[in-house]
């Protein structure tokens, strides 16, 4: 999203809903493309919680879902977000993605725990992806 789109999004939300002063206002961000400028704008307009869509660090799974990112990218965005004052930060990993055998779950969990130890997010989530048939 551009800076202008972030502003427009938040204004559309606040035009339709009353946000209480103590509300947690969250948005999901992608560590591959989110910039420091976007993080700053998200904070400035009123978001106070970030959900980092990490998904998976396993190369075979990243290839299957077309989403390449490194632990270092996620860590850098986390540190940037903390520097801009975000205290509520999720790190989301998904299980049940294509090419993600259960036999590698321990390895993926170890990478998530390494990320947690490095970054100390306020929340780390392991989310199940359930596939449903597409209906026409």
**Cα atoms in the Cβ-side hemisphere of radius 13 Å centred on 64:** 13
Give pLDDT, residue 25: 93
* Dihedral (CA of 41, 45, 50, 56) sign: negative
Distance (Å, whole) CA 16 – CA 32:
30
| Domain annotation covers residue 51 | yes
The percent of residues above 90 in pLDDT, for the chain, comes to: 39
Give the CATH number for residue 97.
Answer: 3.20.20.70
Residue pair 37/3 in contact (Cβ under 8 Å)? The answer is: yes
Q: Give the number of domains in the chain.
A: 1
Give pLDDT, residue 130: 54
Look up the domain containing 119 and give its range: 23-128
Structure tokens at 113: 């725990």
Stated as kind and residue range, the H or E segment containing 88 is strand 88-95
Confidence tier at 75 by pLDDT (50, 70, 90): confident
| Domain annotation covers residue 10 | no
pLDDT tens-digit readout, 8-42:
999 999 999 999 999 999 999 998 899 999 999 99
| Domain annotation covers residue 93 | yes
Mean pLDDT of 120-136: 53
Question: What is this structure's pTM?
Answer: 0.72
Confidence tier at 93 by pLDDT (50, 70, 90): confident
Mean pLDDT of 92-103: 65
Give pLDDT, residue 44: 96
């Amino acid at each position: 999203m551009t800076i202008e789109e972030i502003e427009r999004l938040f204004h559309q939300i606040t035009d339709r809903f009353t946000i209480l002063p103590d509300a947690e206002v969250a948005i999901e961000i992608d560590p591959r493309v989110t910039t420091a400028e976007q993080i700053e704008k998200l904070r400035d307009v009123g978001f106070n919680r970030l959900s980092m869509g990490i998904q998976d660090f396993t190369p075979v799974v990243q290839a299957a879902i077309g989403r390449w990112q490194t632990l270092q990218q996620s860590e850098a965005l986390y540190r940037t977000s903390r520097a801009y004052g975000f205290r509520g930060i999720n790190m989301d990993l998904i299980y049940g993605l294509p090419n993600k055998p259960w036999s590698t779950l321990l390895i993926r969990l170890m990478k998530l725990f390494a990320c947690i130890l490095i970054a100390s997010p306020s929340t780390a989530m392991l989310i199940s992806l359930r596939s449903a048939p597409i209906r026409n």
